[in-house]
Homo-oligomer: A and B are copies of this chain.
Amino acid sequence: MNWPGPILTDSGGYQVFSLGDLREIREEGVEFRSHLDGSRHFFTPELAVAVQDALGSDIAMVLDECPPYPSDRSYVLTSMERTTRWAERSRQAVTRKDQALFAIVQGGMYRDLRERHARELTDLDFPGYAVGGLSVGEPKELMYETLEWVTPLLPKSKPRYLMGVGSPDALFAGVERGVDMFDCVLPTRLARHGVVLTLDGRLNLRNAVYARDFSPVSSECECPACKSYSRAYIRHLLKANEILGMRLTTVHNLYFLLRLMADIRTSLAQGRFKSFHREFMCRYQEAEESTIQV
């Protein structure tokens, strides 16, 4: 793959459980039919570890079940207990010394279940913990509340990872609640649709208003797209379906979010996170949902 940086792989559980009628969950694992060719597959916690072991990522994720929102309490409880047993089996299946397997806290939007699952998994002593089952369509405020139940119970000395979150407002909210890591398709998916993130919010470069706008996406951005290309030119590329258009918007959006996280870390080190948060959001005025997940 030729990527020189650290690599995180997910278990594929989220994708399997999204298949709906095409999958059947049993204690041993999950059986599913491919939506592409109908072929049958049986996926177990051990197989998810073995696949990620073969991929050689730096961080691997356990196979968990991510219940949809909303789900009733009894279903979430049954699913969560199985996810704990699967986490234990996954930990037993680890063979690599150079790969960190993270557990994933579930429990839906039920406080006692979330707290119980966080304790069960921390007792199993994983090298890192993710909060799963959020950013799946619930109101943002409910996501933040759930996060506040869970993160205080996770060890401060280990990475705490909020899955499926990537909009600037939710990144700030996550960091505020103790989250260290995020992942999200938001920057790249938006980019492929011609939407770029700037300090003044989102712009849709496909709009006609940019047809003769020869300024960069952002004059404050140092990314390769902003240093060498105009909004008008990128718009032309997007309208003509030239691949370079999507590449430039993707490069810009990734640069923007990585830069934002670097600025957040600096503000934390300098004890001015709250004021940075306020100033950034005041300008950004993010109005949209952050709940986009693969």
Contacts and interface: CB of A to CB of B under 8 A. Distances in A.
A268 B147 CA distance: 70
Interface in A226-253: 228-229, 233, 243, 246-247
Given A2-B228, A228-B2, A243 B233 contact: no
A269 interface: no
Interface in A1-48: 1-2
A72 B234 CA distance: 44
A73 B158 CA distance: 81
A2 B224 CA distance: 10
**Size category, A interface:** under 10
Contacts of A233: 1
Contacts of A1: 233
Contact of A243 (B2, B228, B229, B247): B247
Contacts of A228: 2
Contacts of A2: 228-229
A243 B1 CA distance: 14
Nearest to A237: B1
A246 B233 CA distance: 21
A157 to B, nearest CB: 36
Interface string A246-282: 1100000000000000000000000000000000000
A119 B2 CA distance: 55
A247 B228 CA distance: 20
A235 to B, nearest CB: 14
Interface of A: 1-2, 228-229, 233, 243, 246-247
7 contacts: A1-B233, A2-B228, A2-B229, A243-B243, A243-B246, A243-B247, A247-B247
6 closest A-B pairs by CB: A2-B228, A243-B243, A2-B229, A243-B246, A1-B233, A243-B247
